[in-house]
Amino acid sequence: MAVSVPPVTASRAEAEGSTVQIPQYRRRAIVAVWAAAALPMAALAWLVAPALKDRFAGDGNVPMFKALVTCLTAGLIWQFVLVAVLVWREQRTFRWSVVSQALWLRSPRSPRTGRRGGRVWLVVIPLIAAFAAEGLIPELPHAANRDLAAFLSSPAGGSFMHGAWGWYSLLLVLFVFTTVLGEELLFRGLLLPRMNGAFGRRDWVANGLLFGAYHVHTPWVIPATLLDTFILAYPTKRYRSAWIGIAVHSAQSVLFAAIGLTLLL
């Protein structure tokens, strides 16, 4: 899927002494990037996966699980490629000293003291607890064969995963690209720092709403995901660090990976 981002407003360096210029996207550019991430995921989940499931062996929901894991992993890898392409077009380099500033991949900074790292990292503890509490929110009705977590917690899922090292490895790739190299890198690393020009002080609100709407591939989680506006988007903006969102979101992936490992063994 080709992505053409409309021209951005004049670039500006952040007021933290960084020499890396972070341009501000216009609203149509923000929507274009959102669509380049959300629409492929929707197509892969609702069109491609059902078309491919009969090519996979297994009984019950196993073929659909395999198709969804394969397709969603591909969609998340595409998001990483999308970020890489846009950063290259913007910065013309992949040097870490530049990329880390362009994508807010630096230690969180206290808005009160200006201190970076250290005790500032403690903010992730209550955020992880709040993120875990999202699981208590009832989901919208949906087909059981589309819920990966429900499948893994079922007897059929446990039986399938036992000794399935290949599929467990693919799940690990899915988790990494969900929380580190895909969703968080795109929404909190790429988009959020470039949304202030279009949305002002409420850029984090717009970012959270876009993140919720992005989940058209799993619409039953959208109500809970909207809370990520306060749990992921706002703290990332407040502390000027995409690592905040990545760390909080990754706690879920670590838990799922541990559960998967118990099923595997």
pLDDT in tens, the chain (265 residues): 445 554 444 444 444 456 789 999 999 999 999 999 999 999 999 999 999 999 998 888 899 999 999 999 999 999 999 999 999 999 999 999 999 999 999 999 998 888 888 899 999 999 999 999 888 888 888 887 888 888 888 888 888 888 889 999 999 999 999 988 999 999 999 999 999 999 999 999 999 999 999 999 999 999 999 999 999 999 999 999 999 999 999 988 888 888 888 887 7
Question: Where are the domains positioned within the chain?
Answer: 22-264
Start-to-end CA distance of the chain, whole Å, equals 39
Q: Are 19 and 40 in contact (CB under 8 A)?
A: no
Structure tokens at 9: 């407003």
Question: Could you tell me if 217 and 45 are in contact, meaning their C-beta atoms sit under 8 angstroms apart?
Answer: yes
Whole-angstrom distance, CA of residue 44 vs CA of residue 37? 11
3 state SS of 12: strand
Contact indicator for 197, 9 with CB cutoff of 8 Å = yes
Which amino acid makes up residue 8? V
Q: Are 191 and 204 in contact (CB under 8 A)?
A: no
Interhelix angle 165-179/242-264, nearest 10 degrees: 170
> What does each C-alpha distance from 215 to 40, 72, 175 come to in angstroms?
11, 12, 16
Burial of 80 (0-12, 13-18, 19+ CB in 10 A): middle
The answer to whether 45 and 57 are in contact (CB under 8 A) is: no
